[in-house]
Amino acid sequence: MAFDATATARATMKTLHRAAEPDVLKPLLERARLTPESRRNVVDHAAGLIADLRAAQTKGWVNQFLQEYRLNSSEGVALLSLAEAFLRVPDPETADLLIADKLGDADWRAHTGKSSSLLVNSATWGLVVGRVLVGDGGGALKRLISRAGEPFVRQAVGAAMKMMGEIFVMGRTIDEAARRMRRSENKGFTASFDMLGEAARTTEDACRYFDAYAGAIAAIAADAGAGHSISVKLSALHPRYEVAQYDTCVPELTAMTLELAQAAAKAGIAFTVDAEESERLEMSLDIIAAVAADRSLDGWDGFGMAVQAYGKRCRPVIQWANDRGRLMNVRLVKGAYWDSEIKRTQVEGLADYPLFTRKAATDVSYLACARDMLEAKNIRPAFASHNALTVATILEWAGESRDFEFQRLHGMGEGLYERLVREEGYHTRIYAPVGGHRDLLAYLVRRLLENGANSSFVHQLADEGLSDEELLADPVEKIAAVGGSRHPNIPLPKDLFGAWRNSEGVDLQDIDILAETVSAVNQTRLPGEGRGRAASGSKLDPGLRRGGSEDLVGRAAAAFPAWSAAPVEDRAAILERLADLLEEHRTELMAYAVKEAYKSLADAVGEVREAADFCRYYAMRAREDLATITLPGPTGERNAMRLEGRGVWATVAPWNFPLAIFLGQCAAALVTGNTVVAKPAPQTPGIAARAVALAHDAGVPEDALILAPGGPEVGAALVADTRVAGVAFTGSTATAKKIARALLDDDARPIVPLIAETGGINAMIVDSTALPEQVVADVLTSAYRSAGQRCSALRLLLLQEEIADGVIEMLSGAMDLLTIGDPADPRTDVGPVIDQTAYDRLMTYRESAKDRWIKTVAAPATGHFVPPTLIRLDDMDSLTSEFFGPILHVATWKAGALADTVARVNAKGYGLTMGLHSRIARSGEVVEAMARVGNLYVNRSMIGAVVGSQPFGGEGLSGTGPKAGGPHYLPRFCAERAVSVDTTSAGGNASLLSLDEGGI
Which contiguous run of DSSP H or E holds residue 610? helix 601-625
CA–CA gap between residue 74 and residue 449 (Å, rounded): 14
614, 664 contact by CB (below 8 A): yes
> Phi/psi at 303 (nearest 5 deg)?
-85, 140
426, 406 contact by CB (below 8 A): yes
Bridge partners of 642, per DSSP, are: 977
Q: What is the DSSP letter of 894?
A: -
What's the distance, CA 350 to chain centroid? 13
Q: What is the DSSP letter of 889?
A: E
Question: Rounded to whole angstroms, what are the CA distances from 273 to 203, 219, 255, 256, 332?
Answer: 20, 19, 14, 12, 12
Catalytic residue among 791, 802, 882, 974: 791
The identity of residue 380, as a single letter, is R
Across the beta sheet with 763-766, the strand order is 853-856, 869-872, 887-893, 796-800, 763-766, 913-917, 935-938
791 part of the active site: yes
| Count of all residues that appear for the chain in the document | 1000
> Phi/psi at 423 (nearest 5 deg)?
-120, -25
Which are the contacts of 365, defined by CB distance < 8 A and separation ≥ 6? 25, 28, 32, 309, 310, 311, 312, 314, 315, 356
Catalytic residue among 279, 414, 450, 757: 757
Bridge partners of 706, per DSSP, are: 677
CA–CA gap between residue 572 and residue 833 (Å, rounded): 36
Question: Rounded to whole angstroms, what are the CA distances from 811 to 205, 437, 601, 773?
Answer: 12, 23, 24, 9
3-state secondary structure of 330: strand
CA torsion through residues 853, 857, 858, 864, sign? negative
CA–CA gap between residue 431 and residue 450 (Å, rounded): 15
Q: b/e for 215-227, b at 16 or more Cβ within 10 A? A: ebbebbbeeeeee
In terms of DSSP H, where are the helices of 626-756?
660-671, 685-698, 712-720, 733-742
757 part of the active site: yes
617, 965 contact by CB (below 8 A): yes
Neighbouring CB atoms inside 10 A of 196's CB total 23
3-state secondary structure of 422: helix
Whether residue 527 is preceded by a cis peptide bond, meaning omega within 30 degrees of 0, is: no
CA–CA gap between residue 191 and residue 194 (Å, rounded): 9
Q: Which residues are catalytic?
A: 757, 791
